[in-house]
Amino acid sequence: MKKKKYKVKWSRIFLVFLFLGITVYFLIQTFHNDSNRDILLKVGYSQEEVTELRKKLSNIEIEKLAEQSYLSYLTDLLKEEEYHSENLFSYIDYISQIDADYSLKDVVYFVNRKISYPYSQKLVDVIHQDYFILSRLDRYMHYHSDDAKEIVTNVNSDLDYEFYTNIQKTDTSKDTLLIVNKYYQLEKDYHYGDLVVMDSQYDNKSGSRLSSVAYEAFKKLVDDAEKEGYHIRNNSAYRSYATQNSLYQNYKNANGLEWADKWSARPGHSEHQTGLALDVGEKEHTNLNDFVNSKEFIWMKDHAHLYGFILRYPEGKEYLTGYGYEPWHYRYVGIEVATYIYEHQITFEEYYAYFIKES
Ligand SMILES: [Zn+2]
């Protein structure tokens, strides 16, 4: 019986304290809220702004804000889609250093990504470019141009490095989307997949070899073109490292370094070594320079992508690819990618940097 009495007493005491605790808590809260409202009004925020701010900010944030002068953009900032509360004072700090018109969306973007460059038109223009790559920002900002489109296009094509400098090994795990150019080099014995000998009905030469995936696509292309009265043939397909080496050296000896580099690749840097590229021509026309004037070229230009091939060194893009315009040179990349490149009129360098390299 005694025990029972004690139990009742203790639980009563406990309830009393609990009630007192809750009351004190709410009193403090009410006091705090009232003082929050007052200090924000004092700084210069309107009743409406104060209501907004108190909905979205913590007491600590409000107290810190009260130490600063009135910020006219604050309620809009809180509505930004990418707003992160932990960055609140970094946004405010970043904005305080801008002395031009700016967009809050851009500020939020820069601060969230810890971009340390001060706000500038160049920075804004660059990040809004179609093929902007965040990891290349430093390279964009150091590139000597004021034209944002040119900056992004050129840096994505690695033009901030001289040709044949900063050379990397080609990442062959990218499969048929591997890149070979003046910055990316193949191992001496590399070629893609299995090489097959081309049938004479597709080849102006004899015994040419091509990677089977590219060959299957090329056969279909030639067969379909043939049905429409266009006679397309291979003039040069797979070339080994050794073959490319002697070809390049011959060009260099005959025409000099500059010419050789414009029209031929140094060994290890030729797409022909992959087995995924070939030079085409009309049936029985082996001179590459004839092709541009043929009806076959007109057909090829607008149909190659439907079979997975791209015109690899287009006219007007010589400064990006590093090669003269080669209407005869096609590279297999698969239908989907070829179609994208055809429709968007970009080079494989640009496609690779944006869609393949980082993934
Ligand atoms: Zn070629």
- Adjacent-strand bridge partners of 329: 279
Cα(185) to ligand 1 centroid in Å equals: 16
Give CA separation, 278 vs 87, 217, 332, in Å. 53, 12, 9
* Res. 149: pLDDT tops 70: yes
In whole angstroms, what is the distance from residue 23 CA to residue 104 CA? Answer: 42
Q: What is the pTM of this model?
A: 0.86
Give residue 229's pLDDT. Answer: 97
Which of 13-17, 88-92, 253-257 comes out lowest in average pLDDT? Answer: 13-17
Residue 101 identity: D
Catalytic (active site) residue 296: no
Q: Measured in whole angstroms, how far is the alpha carbon of residue 238 from the centre of its chain?
A: 30
Cα(171) to ligand 1 centroid in Å equals: 21
Which of 29-33, 144-148, 289-293 comes out lowest in average pLDDT? Answer: 29-33
Residue 235, phi then psi, degrees to nearest 5: -115, -25
pLDDT band at 34; cut points 50, 70, 90: low
Which of 51-55, 80-84, 148-152 comes out lowest in average pLDDT? Answer: 51-55
Q: At what angle do helices 295-303 and 212-227 cross, to 10 degrees?
A: 120
pLDDT band at 16; cut points 50, 70, 90: confident
- The percentage of the chain sitting over the pLDDT mark of 90, rounded to a whole number, equals 87
**Average pLDDT, integer, range 203-214:** 97
Cα(237) to ligand 1 centroid in Å equals: 8
* Res. 5: pLDDT tops 60: no
CA angle (340, 274, 310) in 5-degree steps: 25
Cα(229) to ligand 1 centroid in Å equals: 24
Residue 327, phi then psi, degrees to nearest 5: -65, -10
The residue from 271, 326, 349, 350 that is catalytic is 326
In whole angstroms, what is the distance from residue 60 CA to residue 66 CA? Answer: 10
The residue among 303, 304, 328 whose CA lies nearest residue 314 is: 328
**Residue-range domains of the chain with CATH:** 1-70 (no CATH), 168-357 (3.30.1380.10)
